[in-house]
Amino acid sequence: MIKSTVETAVADTLQWPHRIVVPIAQPPVDLSDLELKLQGKITVTVIKAQSLKNMEMLGKSDPYVVAYVRVLYKEKTKVVNNNLNPVWNEIFEFDVEDKETQALVFQVLDQDVGSDKLLGVAQFPLVKLDDEETKELELPLVPALEMDNVIDKKDRGHLFIKVKYHVYSKEEQEIAMEKERQLLAAKKEAAEAGLIGGTIDVIGGAVGGAGKLVIGGAGAVGSGVGMVGSGLGKVVKNVSTSFGNRRPSRSENGVPGTPK
């Protein structure tokens, strides 16, 4: 869980799109028009998968799908137990900042005790979608998005989806951005309170993202790093505090010593 959360936080601070606004004017000025704004939303229907690779010694895998455009905002389907040809038919919506450079990413995982196994991944560039166009797609699943160092490059099955892209009007954009600001504020409050839930909570509603542990990434670019640092720092602080609150023990000669 920690590895996934840290990787997600780092990816959000490094992956495009990002825009850093550096004010140089002396008097206070409104920089809101220069910030990166939400362009639209993509509606995704995760229909089904076929011929998934079995990761179980006994029985079959229990697959589910994690989907996202921006790494801090992930969604997760239900788990279909003991099935290599699962059907989900679940609908999700994702905000888009830069349709020309962003992509829709899917991770198909096998729910397992301890650590879930990756069955395959797929990616669809949003630039291939026209405005208000609905497409039904069959995406081949591969072991990883970066295949250079992958030894086993065998087919991992196929994922079937339906997608539609909608461009925000000015009013819709303002509503979406205000909703996102409220979400980030709620996550910040949870992080400051030192709350850490399970994997679902840590992801901000899905898997592998940042909710109560790591926050940031969408409001102002560059705040992601600071928020991530404060989130992780909060966790470390809480851990150390659990030991620091102990009453000092005494050594054999009665002189206060360090807690054992």
Tens of pLDDT, residues 139-154: 999 998 777 677 777 7
Highest mean pLDDT of the ranges 20-24, 55-59, 79-83: 79-83
Confidence of residue 237 (pLDDT cuts 50, 70, 90): very low
CA distance readout (Å), 92 to 67, 210, 230? 9, 18, 30
Is the sign of the CA dihedral 22, 210, 123, 89 positive or negative?
A: negative
Distance, CA of 15 to CA of 126 (rounded, Å)? 16
Q: Are strands 117-125 and 103-110 parallel, antiparallel or unpaired?
A: antiparallel
Tens of pLDDT, residues 244-253: 444 444 444 4
Non-local CB neighbours of 196 within 8 Å, separated by 6+ positions: 202, 212, 213, 235
The residue with tokens 């389907």 is 77
Distance, CA of 63 to CA of 49 (rounded, Å)? 9
Please, is 86 exposed, middle or buried when counting C-beta atoms within 10 Å of its C-beta (0-12, 13-18, 19+)?
Answer: buried
Is 65:88 a contact under the CB 8 Å cutoff? yes
Q: List the alpha helices (DSSP H) in the chain.
A: 2-14, 170-192, 199-202, 223-244
> What does pLDDT average to over the chain?
75
Highest mean pLDDT of the ranges 217-221, 243-247, 252-256: 252-256
Is 134:162 a contact under the CB 8 Å cutoff? yes
Distance, CA of 259 to CA of 8 (rounded, Å)? 36
Q: Other C-beta atoms within 10 Å of 185: how many?
A: 12
Is 209:199 a contact under the CB 8 Å cutoff? no
Confidence of residue 226 (pLDDT cuts 50, 70, 90): very low
Edge-to-edge strand list for the sheet holding 40-50: 87-96, 40-50, 158-167, 134-140
CA distance readout (Å), 230 to 6, 23, 213, 215? 13, 24, 9, 9
The per-residue pLDDT for 136 is 96
Is 163:135 a contact under the CB 8 Å cutoff? yes
Distance, CA of 116 to CA of 206 (rounded, Å)? 14
Kindly report the pTM of this predicted structure. 0.65
